[in-house]
Amino acid sequence: MTKTVFIASTEPHSGKSLITLGLVNLLLGKAQKVGYFKPIINVPSPEHKSVHIESVVGYFNLPIAYEEAYAYTRPQAMGLLEANRQGDIIDRVIHKFKTLENDYDFTVVEGSDFIGEGTAFEFDANLSIAKNLGAPVLMVVSGAGKTTAQLVNTALTVWRNVEAREVQMLALIANKIPAEQVEDVRSLLRAQLPEEIILAIIPADKDLQNPTMKEIHEQLGGKLLFGGEQLTNQVDHFITGAMQIPNLLTRLADNVLIVTPGDRADILLIALQANASVNYPRVAGLVLTGGLEPEEPVLKLIEGLQTVVPILAVETGTFLTTTTIGAIQSRITPDNPKKIRLAIDTFNRYVDVAALQERIVTFEPEGITPHMFQYRLLQWAKSQRKHIVLPEGNDDRILRAAARLINEDVVDLTILGDPTAIAASVKRLGLTLDLSRIQLIDPAHAEHYDDYVQTLYELRKTKNVNYDMARDFMRDVSYFGSMMVYKGHADGMVSGAVHTTQHTIRPALQFIKTKPGVSVVSSVFFMCLPDRVAVFGDCAVNPNPTAEQLAEIAVSSAESSLRFGIEPRVAMLSYSSGTSGEGADVEKVREATQFVKQRRPDLKVEGPIQYDAAVDPMVGRQKLPGSEVAGQASVLIFPDLNTGNNTYKAVQRETGALAIGPVLQGLNKPVNDLSRGCTVEDVFNTVIITAIQAQG
């Protein structure tokens, strides 16, 4: 029964790291603990760190010490090979792997990289390691620079060699395939490979293959003059700037790198001006050649600009510099999470994940880990696509999150604000975002503005709202976004990055209103703790709920817990457990607990109970023996906002937990509030939660 998959390739730059990232992400949605191991790393000495290990372990926050994740550096392995000590290599790899394997439900092993001397032995060495570890193989072949016939012959030769070594091949992945060859490669390989081998064809993608300015800077060396904060800019094209200005401008394309002699201040300044203009494509950066730098007046002018792309100065001439740039191979590095997320999304899009899951061992452990929770949320959101409105198009965090949501194909989006200003911000931020896939609306000039005004007037005229007031209200993005949800033009709304909680939810309370049988809108946070996910409620909305309201909050929180795949075991928190305490506050919790049991006898609920007795099994057994909730509570209900808000923030800060929320519950249609201190990740997660709520 295998707990391991080995990922191998046949040549350098095959894109093997894309497969590793995608597979680890997949497994983290199924197993509590996933390990990562790379037998041989391509670094000159142990003092240097492997980019592959840092990318995988760092991005997924895997609990693996760096030293445990590999066995040898390339020079160490080559030294043993030259001394005819191949057996020693295998022995140490097996020993280190088995030590690691014992601590994990599943381990992904990534083969060596085929870079530098000694590549001839690597294919056989990788297969030998896979066989000794008893691990089936996902084999990656590259289509870069190959004809269809060459690629098919390579893939079939690889399959025969793997079969001859008696190593099981789970899948063959043909990566970096030119778009015009995809279907031919697929049909020819599928016809000749055994049916049980999963075949995946991944088209070439410039966003994965093209380097960033940071990678170009690292390869060229030289001096960074400006733009250090934009070194993540991707370079899709490069041109030599040696022509007259009009001719240069006609040759600009999106994400272009301009290589020009360092004394061409005219080209330098025009390139910066073109980048700032909405009429020309975005410039990724400039490289100034020949050991020449701009003169002092030009430097002073550039220093005063608000935004400057990276500008490098190198000693080499223009021809040698452009030749070097053309040979640069991009890598997926830990400081580029956007490229990591794109790699994962590409894996999910082109690999038959369901078939792969059937072929490898997966686990269904008790409880749910944060990675499993977030993986499931993303899959749920994608399973029934919803339309979410984001009213705060003037906030950079909203736009960054929107780019990720659209690029990962999670939801449909409407963003409110001035479309021209939003487009300019997208360009300024360097986002890979196709605005044609998003609906941009300025409320005051919207197609439905008059209809929304009339609807609001009819709904609120008995509350002293006249027609002119309704027109003013509907220019407010919170009212406009809420009305979109009310009218069914959007399925949900997420706001609060700029606006207060009251500003965000007031329109929803006025006309979206609460679900039948619900009298109070409340909130929960999904607290992604190191080894589990807990639901905290209410930590954001109700300052001092009555016993009846507290019971309603508990029932709503249990339903939210169940809706998001967490078995609800409800703890009604107080400063005493069971019958040990007295006082008005304890009595309120005790009364609320009885209300919950009356309304929902099917729920597992305990209260009053202290926090430690709710979450610590040993304390729970001591204070409330025989309880179904004590020591294993998954839904924690706080008696008031003061306690709940302070506790969730304390837990978040002290444990490093990711707090997803607040997620509002009780409304007829989902509207969710962000904290004004929210991160891009918070926006992303809250939109996903809102989309799932909208699924019903």
Task: Please list, residue by residue across 506-528, b when 16 or more beta carbons sit within 10 angstroms of its beta carbon and e when fewer do.
Answer: ebbebbbbeeeebebbbbbbbbb
Is 57 in contact with 28 (CB distance < 8 Å)? Answer: no
Measured at the alpha carbon of residue 509, what is the angle toward residues 506 and 510, in degrees to the nearest 5?
A: 85
Distance CA 391, CA 557 (A): 26
Distance CA 422, CA 435 (A): 9
Is 2 in contact with 135 (CB distance < 8 Å)? Answer: yes
Poorest-pLDDT segment among 274-283, 350-359, 368-377, 588-597: 368-377
Distance CA 411, CA 388 (A): 7
Tokens found for residue 171: 């899948």
Give the pLDDT confidence of 418-469 residue by residue, as tens digits.
Answer: 999 999 999 998 888 889 999 999 998 999 999 999 999 998 888 888 988 9
Is 630 in contact with 666 (CB distance < 8 Å)? Answer: no
Average pLDDT on 255-262 reads: 94
Residue ranges of the alpha helices (H) in 408-499? 419-429, 449-460, 467-473, 477-487
Q: Is the dihedral of CA 328, 329, 333, 339 positive or negative?
A: positive
Q: Side chain identity at 598, as an amino acid letter? A: Q
Q: Is the pLDDT of residue 116 over 60?
A: no
Measured at the alpha carbon of residue 376, what is the angle toward residues 17 and 333, in degrees to the nearest 5?
A: 25
Q: Is the pLDDT of residue 103 over 90?
A: no
Poorest-pLDDT segment among 29-38, 303-312, 359-368, 405-414: 359-368
Poorest-pLDDT segment among 96-100, 104-108, 468-472: 96-100
- Report the half-sphere exposure of 494 (CA within 13 A, side-chain side): 39
What's the pLDDT score for residue 597? 94
Phi, psi for 343 (deg, rounded to 5): -60, -45
Q: Side chain identity at 689, as an amino acid letter? A: I
What's the pLDDT score for residue 2? 66
Give the pLDDT confidence of 46-57 residue by residue, as tens digits.
Answer: 788 888 899 999
What's the pLDDT score for residue 364? 47
3-state secondary structure of 526: strand
Distance CA 270, CA 253 (A): 14
Distance CA 136, CA 359 (A): 10
CA dihedral 38, 39, 40, 42 (to 10 degrees): 10
What's the pLDDT score for residue 311? 95
576 closest CA partner among 537, 545, 612, 550: 612
Burial class (CB in 10 A: 0-12, 13-18, 19+), 2: middle
- pTM listed for this prediction: 0.74
What's the pLDDT score for residue 120? 55
Angle between helices 86-101 and 122-133 (to 10 degrees): 40
Mean pLDDT of all residues belonging to the chain:
89
- Model confidence at 133, pLDDT cuts 50, 70, 90, reads confident
Q: Side chain identity at 287, as an amino acid letter? A: V
What's the pLDDT score for residue 115? 58
* Domains delineated in the chain: 4-205+335-359 (3.40.50.300), 213-326 (3.40.1390.20), 370-512 (3.40.50.10950), 522-666 (3.40.50.10750)
77 closest CA partner among 88, 62, 66, 69: 88
Distance CA 207, CA 306 (A): 27
Q: Side chain identity at 227, as an amino acid letter? A: G
Distance CA 31, CA 133 (A): 20
Distance CA 203, CA 209 (A): 11
Find which of 90-94, 118-122, 500-504 is predicted with most confidence, using mean pLDDT.
Answer: 500-504
Give the pLDDT confidence of 488-541 residue by residue, as tens digits.
Answer: 999 999 999 999 888 888 899 898 988 888 889 999 999 988 778 899 989 988
359 closest CA partner among 536, 537, 136, 510: 136
Residue in the block written with tokens 């590999």: 70
What's the pLDDT score for residue 274? 92
Is 586 in contact with 608 (CB distance < 8 Å)? Answer: yes
Measured at the alpha carbon of residue 505, what is the angle toward residues 499 and 507, in degrees to the nearest 5?
A: 105
> What percent of the chain stands above pLDDT 90?
54
Angle between helices 680-694 and 396-407 (to 10 degrees): 60
Find which of 151-155, 204-208, 338-342 is predicted with most confidence, using mean pLDDT.
Answer: 151-155
The contacts of residue 17 (CB under 8 Å, 6+ apart) are 52, 55, 56, 110, 331, 332, 343
Is 635 in contact with 569 (CB distance < 8 Å)? Answer: yes
Residue in the block written with tokens 């409105």: 389
Q: Side chain identity at 557, as an amino acid letter? A: S
508 closest CA partner among 486, 540, 536, 532: 486
The residues that bridge with 659 in the sheet, in sequence order, are 527
Angle between helices 370-383 and 680-694 (to 10 degrees): 50
Average pLDDT on 189-213 reads: 92
250 closest CA partner among 260, 259, 241: 241
Transcribe 540-562 into DSSP letters.
SS-SS--HHHHHHHHHHHHHHHH
184 closest CA partner among 150, 208, 158: 150
Q: Side chain identity at 601, as an amino acid letter? A: P
- The beta strands (E) that lie in 487-598 are given as 492-495, 522-528, 533-537, 569-573
Computed on alpha carbons and rounded to an integer, the radius of gyration of the chain in Å comes to 29
The contacts of residue 366 (CB under 8 Å, 6+ apart) are none
Q: Side chain identity at 489, as an amino acid letter? A: H
35 closest CA partner among 117, 118, 105: 105
- Model confidence at 363, pLDDT cuts 50, 70, 90, reads very low
Residue ranges of the alpha helices (H) in 282-418? 296-303, 318-326, 337-350, 353-359, 370-383, 396-407
Q: Is the pLDDT of residue 346 over 80?
A: yes
410 closest CA partner among 454, 345, 362: 345
Give the pLDDT confidence of 557-573 residue by residue, as tens digits.
Answer: 999 999 888 899 999 99
- Model confidence at 336, pLDDT cuts 50, 70, 90, reads confident
Is 189 in contact with 199 (CB distance < 8 Å)? Answer: yes
- Model confidence at 593, pLDDT cuts 50, 70, 90, reads very high
Q: Is the pLDDT of residue 98 over 70?
A: yes
636 closest CA partner among 569, 541, 542: 569
> What percent of the chain stands above pLDDT 70?
97
What's the pLDDT score for residue 227? 92
Residue in the block written with tokens 């904060």: 229
